[in-house]
């Protein structure tokens, strides 16, 4: 899953990036509102963490423009302003959730998981397709009731496919979900991870649509 962080504070942005990476997300970080607006208009993300007080363009304005483009991307607002009015304004601008600084990294990741889950149409915390069960919070996967040991990238890949169950995801789309900018992606990386997943879980779990991409049904 790929998350965009928009935060102008160097130390805080660095911490959120590191924390989300620990949870297996691909994380991109921009430090000003105008750049965030550009990136959100052109790149696909699964969720965004948006600070309100930003240089050049405020977080609320970024949000307003995003919703103006009819984008349904889940957005979590991050701010130091905590009056009821501030929260109402933030939510009314199109935010899906709201977190006041200082916050708990665990809570931030949990809220992001909930946002992504709801956005994908799932209501329960566990994703389940056939005999495969995925617990995004605990980073655990099981097949036919038995735990399966997956690497962070394998887990993220399976998570992405299961979130979009029934839809084909291209290799490029999967790469975008798995890797942040600047991260080196080997040309056959996705194929290798798919191969591992098939071996660890079931050869029939992930179907290949040749020349198009992969899907889970």
For other proteins, which residue of 12, 39, 91, 129 counts as binding (CB under 8 A)?
Answer: 12
Strand partners, 26: 2
The residues in 74-133 that bind other proteins, with binding defined as CB under 8 A, are: 80-81, 100-106
CB 71, min distance to other proteins, A: 24
- Match 């942040």 to its residue by tokens: 180
Of 106 and 147, the one with the shorter C-beta distance to other proteins is 106
217 binds other proteins (CB under 8 A): no
Peptide bond into 102 cis (omega under 30): yes
Question: How many residues can be counted in the chain?
Answer: 217
Binding span for other proteins by CB under 8 A among 11-19, 120-128, 130-138, 163-171? 11-19
Q: How far is the C-alpha of 32 from the C-alpha of 7, rounded, in Å? A: 7
The residues in 39-58 that bind other proteins, with binding defined as CB under 8 A, are: 53, 55-56
142-173 residues labelled b (16+ CB within 10 A) or e (exposed): beeeeebebeebbbbbbbbbbbbeeeebebeb
For other proteins, which residue of 1, 3, 16, 27 counts as binding (CB under 8 A)?
Answer: 16
Binding span for other proteins by CB under 8 A among 14-22, 61-69, 159-167, 182-190? 14-22
DSSP-derived letter for residue 101 is: S
CA-to-CA separations, 206 to 37, 138, 164, in angstroms, rounded:
35, 22, 12
Binding span for other proteins by CB under 8 A among 17-25, 36-44, 120-128, 137-145? 17-25
Q: How far is the C-alpha of 72 from the C-alpha of 6, rounded, in Å? A: 17
Among residues 128, 58, 159, the alpha carbon closest in space to that of 174 is found at 159
CB 55, min distance to other proteins, A: 3
**Considering CB under 8 A, how many residues would be counted as binding other proteins?**
23
For other proteins, which residue of 9, 61, 135, 175 counts as binding (CB under 8 A)?
Answer: 9
Q: Which residues bind other proteins (CB under 8 A)?
A: 9-12, 14-16, 18-19, 22, 32, 53, 55-56, 80-81, 100-106
């Amino acid at each position: 899953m790929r998350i965009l962080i928009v935060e102008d504070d160097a130390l805080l942005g660095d911490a959120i990036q590191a924390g989300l990476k620990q949870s297996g997300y691909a994380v991109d970080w921009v430090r000003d509102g105008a750049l965030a607006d550009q990136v959100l208009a052109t790149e696909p993300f699964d969720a965004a963490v948006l600070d309100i007080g930003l240089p050049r363009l405020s977080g609320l304005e970024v949000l307003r423009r995003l919703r103006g483009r009819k984008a349904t991307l889940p957005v979590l607002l991050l701010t130091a302003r905590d009056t009821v009015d501030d929260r109402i304004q933030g939510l009314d601008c199109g935010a899906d959730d709201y977190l006041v600084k200082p916050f708990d990294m665990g809570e931030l990741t949990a809220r992001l998981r909930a946002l992504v889950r709801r956005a994908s149409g799932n209501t329960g915390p566990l994703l389940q397709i056939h005999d495969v069960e995925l617990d995004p919070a605990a980073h655990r996967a099981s097949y036919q009731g038995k735990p399966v040991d997956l690497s962070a990238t394998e887990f993220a890949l399976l998570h992405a496919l299961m979130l979009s169950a029934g839809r084909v995801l291209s290799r490029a789309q999967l790469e975008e979900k798995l890797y942040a900018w600047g991260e080196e992606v080997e040309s056959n990386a996705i194929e290798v991870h798919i191969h591992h997943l098939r071996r660890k879980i079931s050869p029939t779990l992930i179907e290949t649509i040749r020349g198009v991409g992969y899907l889970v049904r």
